Chains A and B, each alone.
Chain A
């Protein structure tokens, strides 16, 4: 059982380039999330999808777009990368949307550097 998988693991971009981070889960979870992790700031929510076909903004959505392709896959796109988007990106999934006892399961992360 793979859980949550992310590709790529590492990426270096130049300012202005675009790229898509891929995420897939095999646990039949309804909800999926994208976070960024920056030193001293914990994880901050970029976008989430409570169910297939729906997406909503999180705390830091500017400069990003997402697509919930199907129940398994949730991609994050940077249209024009900026150095401020240098970060580690984590995808997560959970069975229920915003359930108070719900556990989120995380992928291994993508380390992105924007020069």
Chain B
């Protein structure tokens, strides 16, 4: 079946540091890939997505590139802020009806001033 693996953390960084959160996936067919973010006490929000190989999703300074050859979708940001502290979820979705979304376990990021 489909699955998503991501580094669980927690990840602690200083403000303005470079961020990478690794995500790899296993899927049949050609999935779309997503990063969702969950701020404390809130639901998940879409951060970015990519729908085909080599696509780059970007939003709020975050980027991720859909790499089919390595089945990866790593999240990066060049300079994190305290306000980026949250839990980040990698996810995939396929056209296989009923499969819907498969989420990774989430990575908690803490950014210190």
Q: Which residues of A contact B (CB under 8 A)?
A: 4, 33, 40-45, 48, 50, 56, 58, 90, 92, 97-109
Main secondary structure of the interface of A (DSSP, over half): loop
Q: Interface code B35-70, partner A: CB below 8 Å = 1, 0 otherwise?
A: 010000111111001010000000000000000000
**Nearest 6 A-B pairs (CB), nearest first?**
A106-B43, A42-B103, A43-B103, A106-B44, A42-B105, A100-B32
Answer whether A100 and B93 are a contact pair too, CB < 8 Å, given A42-B105, A90-B44: yes
Interfacial chain A residues near B34, Cβ < 8 Å: 103
Interface of B is mostly: loop
The residues of B that contact A90 with a CB separation of less than 8 Å are 43-44
B89 and A43: CB pair below 8 A?
yes
Enumerate chain B interface residues (CB-CB to A < 8 A): 4, 8, 30-32, 34, 36, 41-46, 49, 51, 89, 93-101, 103-106
Q: How far is the CA of A104 from the CA of B103 in the complex (A)?
A: 12
Output the least CB separation between A25 and chain B (Å): 12
Contacts of B51 in A (CB 8 A): 100-101
For A50, list chain B residues within 8 Å (CB): 97
Q: A40 with B42: in contact, given A48-B100, A98-B95 (CB under 8 Å)?
A: no
Instruction: Offer 30 A-B interface pairs, CB within 8 angstroms, sorted by A.
Output: A4-B43, A33-B101, A41-B105, A42-B4, A42-B103, A42-B105, A43-B44, A43-B89, A44-B103, A98-B94, A98-B96, A98-B97, A98-B100, A99-B93, A100-B51, A100-B93, A100-B94, A100-B95, A101-B32, A101-B49, A101-B93, A102-B32, A102-B93, A103-B34, A103-B49, A104-B46, A105-B46, A108-B41, A108-B43, A109-B42
